[in-house]
Amino acid sequence: MAVSMHYMNDGNTENIDESMDSLILDLKKQKFLVFDSGDGITFNVYERHIKVATLITLVEPILERIKNANTMPKLDALRIAIIKDHENFQVNQKAFIAQKAKLKRIPRKDRNW
């Protein structure tokens, strides 16, 4: 999953093809302070008590996440996101139902969840 880094000093934005966890580790090694803003998607980066950047996880569209869900728990975790996306609710709901039916057809002995 990619990360968008927005710099506070010049307003530039950089897309980084690296996971959020590894990017945060790299920043901490460079003595930056990194704090979760509370939503698990946005992180604030500080240097000497001054906010220098904001990291935002670039989340793939819900429809893609539904199609890529290969276990029932992963699919169930998307329920709230589907409800909150009012503009695409019907499309996402149809994809959810289709993916759930597909997962239910997997024989119990072959399920890994």
Q: Has residue 53 got a pLDDT over 80?
A: yes
Judge if 71 and 50 occupy the same domain.
no
Pick the closest to residue 37 from 53, 26, 22 (CA basis). 53
For residues 77 and 102, membership in a common domain is answered with: yes
**Total number of domains constituting the chain:** 2
Answer yes or no: do 37 and 13 share one domain.
yes
DSSP assignment of 26-65, as one string?
Answer: HHHHTT-EEEE-SSSSEEEEEETTEEEEEEEE-PPPHHHH
Shared domain for 48 and 68, answered yes or no, is no
Which tens digits make up the pLDDT trace of 56-111?
876 667 888 898 889 999 899 889 888 887 877 888 899 999 999 999 999 999 88
- pLDDT cut 90: percent of the chain above it: 35
**Total-model pTM:** 0.50
Range of the domain at 7: 3-57
pLDDT given at position 65: 85
- Domain boundary (37, 57, 77) is at 57
